[in-house]
Amino acid sequence: MSVFAAVMREGSFVSAAKALQMTPSGVSHRISNLEERLGVRLLN
């Protein structure tokens, strides 16, 4: 959930990744996992 919050706060996967010291693909993977667990699409 913190990764999703970072994407919302930072405005992009790349900026969130930098803020979290992750790769953009890592952020994308975490968001995909969250969407799958919740059963809803969070981002377009």
pLDDT value of residue 14: 98
Residues 6+ apart with CB under 8 A from 3: 16, 20, 22, 27, 30, 31, 34
Query: Is there a contact between 5 and 25 (Cβ–Cβ < 8 Å)?
Result: no
∠ CA 23-11-41, rounded to 5°: 80
The mean pLDDT of 21-41, rounded to a whole number, is 98
Q: What is the pLDDT of residues 8-28, one digit of tens each?
A: 999 999 999 999 999 999 999
Structure tokens at 16: 């969130």
pTM of the model: 0.89
In this model, does residue 44 exceed pLDDT 90? no
pLDDT at 35: 97
Percent of the chain at pLDDT exceeding 70: 100
Query: What are the Cα distances from residue 2, in Å, to 7, 12, 16?
Result: 9, 14, 10
